[in-house]
Amino acid sequence: MSDRTLVIGIAGGTASGKSTLTQTLAKHFAGHVTVIQHDSYYKNNDHLPFEARTTLNYDAPTAFDNDLMIEQVKELISGKAVECPTYDYALHTRAKETVRLDPSPILIVEGILIFAEPRLCELCDIKLFVDTDADVRILRRIRRDVVERGRSLESVEAQYLKTVKPMHELYVEPSKRQADMIIPEGGSNLVALDMLVHRIDRVLGLDPNAAPLNAPIFEVDPQSAQTSTND
Ligand SMILES: Nc1ncnc2c1ncn2[C@@H]1O[C@H](COP(=O)(O)OP(=O)(O)O)[C@@H](O)[C@H]1O
Ligand SMILES: Nc1ccn([C@@H]2O[C@H](COP(=O)(O)O)[C@@H](O)[C@H]2O)c(=O)n1
């Protein structure tokens, strides 16, 4: 097995299926995967009263403590364990507990805005963007936020129109251009999963014909790859 960490970035809009894809890969490569989520690094904001915290914009890159996350991603890549913060969505603040993350051959970095932060994007060897229509995502988000994140239907609607949708259009959607692979519907896309699993097997040396990490599978000559015209 390769002695380097393979960093897989998984981005996409809210409720697009990032966590589902992450869990599918983590299950397949069980014992070889560490997951780090951008959401764990939302700024604390406990200097503000609860009501004020409910009105903040949580969908712009400035909502996160990116410096801390980048530092911890680098630590994991260099083989060291980290104490990852945890986040309380119901209270809109960082929880007291931290979670120890141990380094693994595969590090999955997940979040809506990881490709919108160039320093995080650069650290990813494989960049995946889960692409799911906005109407499907908002339906999923309403259910999730009400059931799991302690929100009312009215608050989900108001937040979606005020910040989630405009920030998606401003930051998340353009960051799709950074992706190596765009995956419609994430974890249920079996063709994409199969291709991914083979690529990961190769770079980790789980495959007997393994190529070294980041070695191109195909050598592309840009000259001959140009589209010919009718001349
Ligand atoms: N391909 C899919 N088909 C149907 N439901 C899905 C699919 N992917 C995810 N979901 C559901 O949508 C919700 C949001 O998915 P999740 O993976 O948590 O999204 P994200 O991490 O992007 O916010 C969850 O309830 C999940 O079970
Ligand atoms: N206090 C907070 C912090 C974040 N959010 C929302 O979480 C979304 C990102 O998480 P996903 O699992 O959906 O990718 C993001 O769109 C934020 O609006 C929040 O509602 N409250």
CATH number at residue 86: 3.40.50.300
ipTM over 0.90: yes
User: What does residue 10 show for φ and ψ, rounded to 5 degrees?
Assistant: -125, 110
The atom number, within ligand 1, closest to the CA of 112 reads: 22
Domain span at residue 91 reads 6-206
* Apex 9 CA angle, 167 and 130, nearest 5: 60
pLDDT digits (tens, 9 = 90+) for 69-97: 999 999 999 999 999 999 999 999 999 99
Assess if residue 230 is contained within a domain: no
Q: Reduce the DSSP state of residue 77 to 3 states and report it.
A: helix
**CB atoms closer than 10 angstroms to residue 188:** 13
Q: Is residue 15 part of a domain?
A: yes
Distance from the alpha carbon of residue 145 to the mean position of ligand 2, in angstroms: 9
Using a 6 Å cutoff on CB, does residue 187 contact ligand 1? yes
User: Per the structure block, which two tokens stand in for 78?
Assistant: 């260099």
Ligand 2 centroid vs 218 CA: distance in angstroms?
38
CA 79 to CA 97: how far, in whole Å? 23
Identify whether 228 is part of a domain.
Answer: no
Residue 185 CB–ligand 1 contact under 6 Å? yes
Render the burial of 49-76: b for 16+ CB within 10 Å, e for the rest: eeeebeebebbebebbbbeebbebbeeb
- Asked if residue 220 has pLDDT above 60, the reply is no
Whether 160 maps to a domain, the answer reads yes
**Does 51 have pLDDT greater than 90?**
yes
In a domain, 13, yes or no: yes
**Of the bound ligands, which one is closest to the alpha carbon of residue 54?**
2
The reply to whether 69 falls in a domain is: yes
Q: Which atom of ligand 2 is nearest to the CA of 19?
A: 12
pLDDT score of 230: 46
Domain count, the chain: 1
pLDDT tens, position by position, 142-192: 999 999 999 999 999 999 999 999 999 999 999 999 999 999 987 788 899
Annotation: binding site for ATP: 12-19
User: Per the domain annotation, does 46 fall within a domain?
Assistant: yes
Ligand 2 close to Cβ of residue 59 (< 6 A): yes
Are 8 and 107 a contacting pair, CB within 8 Å? yes
Helix H or strand E segment including 93: strand 93-101
In this structure, the strands spanning 82-88 and 93-101 are antiparallel
The tokens 């960049």 sit on which residue?
Answer: 127
* pTM, rounded to two decimals: 0.91
CA distances from 114 to 17, 110, 128, 138 (A): 15, 7, 11, 20
Across 216-225, average pLDDT: 56
- Is residue 40 classed as helix, strand or coil in its secondary structure? helix
Give dist(CA 23, CA 187) in Å, integer: 8
pLDDT at 215: 52
